[in-house]
Structure 1
């Protein structure tokens, strides 16, 4: 039995529980293919997995990582979402989940589109039902999902794209990506700041992943018939409950998105990936590279991600 390098969790805790280990190569089951991993994606959800172990089937020891790009034994370049096992040199992937990567899309971009790209696309086109001319507020606009959502909203014909980010550098990046205005996500009256950035009007669409008081501020920033999509809780603080009569008074919509549910809809993710691949290949969509580090540097990457010190897409290179 051959061995490989991987990041392994033997106990739940903080980044300190992420250990570089030598483990047996995965043995593909019937219907699976073995992928030699060139890059493994690092996502905010991975920090939850190591810290609390609340995801279904979290039996120790485990190898985290839910997205990879690499090559199969016949040399086909593929990208794939996996339940776990991505932080490794090799991973077994169900054949139906291995998406061939077009020649015009590089490995890093393909990796970013798997989870964050499809999430951004679904937020706008499925959950928010964004229409041309809509005003859109994107929270965490310099992050992996946010940096793509800013661009996708622009190419989909948004009337105005407002970016919210926590530092001058992150706001500058959002403007460079196509946002019309960038506001400080720490503004104590975030709703008023968002409305000012939209010419004094409420927003048609808000993409919210912070939680805590930011959710209530985002609701207050909506225009009548506006839509808020909640897809994360980076603050790790639950927002105040939404009162249904209040939604009726303003004719606003609140919904949520979990990517796993989209995977149960035949053809939906394929449609999203086709659109994303096309926009990367023709230059309309740019993936922001936040960091690519070796497996031995995974602890620092998780620390930076949890502290919201990162921008764009983060990845591990199993060859380093």
Structure 2
């Protein structure tokens, strides 16, 4: 089968289309013909060595796929080695999805949708009526987080974006305002995947008992020094979030995903489909993602 693989760490240029052996299912696994594979910022960290060690190379990235099982079911699932024509999935975690649900929308509900759900429910513990600001609000996580914040009872939702086109998108998703720092009014919850100077600006814009949730460093900036005394003066908190342990908790995967799918089918949640690339152009997909030229969910099509 064809797959995208890399055998040394680096930038998008190390991603190479190769012929590799077909995967063989083990106990509890199913073989899926990949219809579409999701592309995530986490994949770029695997490629540059942030998430992997050298003894795991060569490696086929990709954590999420929509595909067909050998018995014809159309499923959405987490996996490893998704940038390929075939992938192995845990049979008990392959969720049936309707044939008319676009693959990009379905894939947006996995890492991005589950991240947005847990950011608001598990990390920020959003309360009814609170004010929420979402950084990178036109991206995969951000575009879902602004909608879920409203669905979960936020009283006001603001968005930070990087271009006029992205401004139009988030306004169409129902945000109250596109904002810049300093905020006119402090926020109770701020979700930050960008880091760098934006993190520091956000910290200074928290309301009393506010929570700044950090879950990424898209800016690739260095770590921001954090003075505990400053947090005391602000009477605020910084919460770190990583999706993997959240999914491993009881009720952390199936139940949130079922809620996200239900909201989508009902039309109350609109996952934003993004650019689609042929499998062979995975390098370009990563380049565009890192340059912040994309909106919504980016997918590869074998």
Query: Aligned residue for 2:5?
Result: 8
Change in Cα spacing, 1:58 to 1:106, as seen in structure 2 (3 Å) is: farther
**Aligned CA-pair RMSD:** 1.6
Change in Cα spacing, 1:74 to 1:60, as seen in structure 2 (3 Å) is: same
Query: Aligned residue for 1:300?
Result: 284
| Partner SS state of residue 160, structure 2 | strand
Give the CA deviation at 1:238: 3.0
For these two proteins, the number of residue pairs brought into alignment is 302
Change in Cα spacing, 1:58 to 1:306, as seen in structure 2 (3 Å) is: farther
2:46 corresponds to which of 49, 64, 67: 49
Give the CA deviation at 1:169: 0.8
1:209 aligns with 2:193: yes
Write out per-residue CA displacement over residues 277-314 of structure 1, whole angstroms, 9 at most, x where no aligned residue. Answer: 11100111111111111111111111111111111100
1:314 aligns with 2:298: yes
Query: Aligned residue for 2:114?
Result: 118
Query: Aligned residue for 1:161?
Result: 157
| Partner SS state of residue 165, structure 1 | coil
1:137 aligns with 2:121: no
Give the CA deviation at 1:247: 1.8
2:230 corresponds to which of 246, 268, 272: 246
What is the TM-score when the length of structure 2 is the normalising length? 0.95
* Cα contact 1:8–1:62 (8 A) shared by 2: yes
* Cα contact 2:74–2:99 (8 A) shared by 1: no
Change in Cα spacing, 1:239 to 1:215, as seen in structure 2 (3 Å) is: farther
Query: Aligned residue for 2:245?
Result: 261
What is the TM-score when the length of structure 1 is the normalising length? 0.90
Give the CA deviation at 1:52: 2.5
1:17 corresponds to which of 14, 19, 25: 14
Tell me, in whole angstroms, the C-alpha distance in 1 between the residues paired with 2:151 and 2:99: 22
1:146 aligns with 2:142: yes
Give the CA deviation at 1:97: 2.6
| Partner SS state of residue 112, structure 2 | helix
Please, which runs of 5 or more residues in structure 2 have no aligned partner?
A: none
- Please show how residues 215-230 of structure 1 align to structure 2 within 5 Å: 215-230=199-214
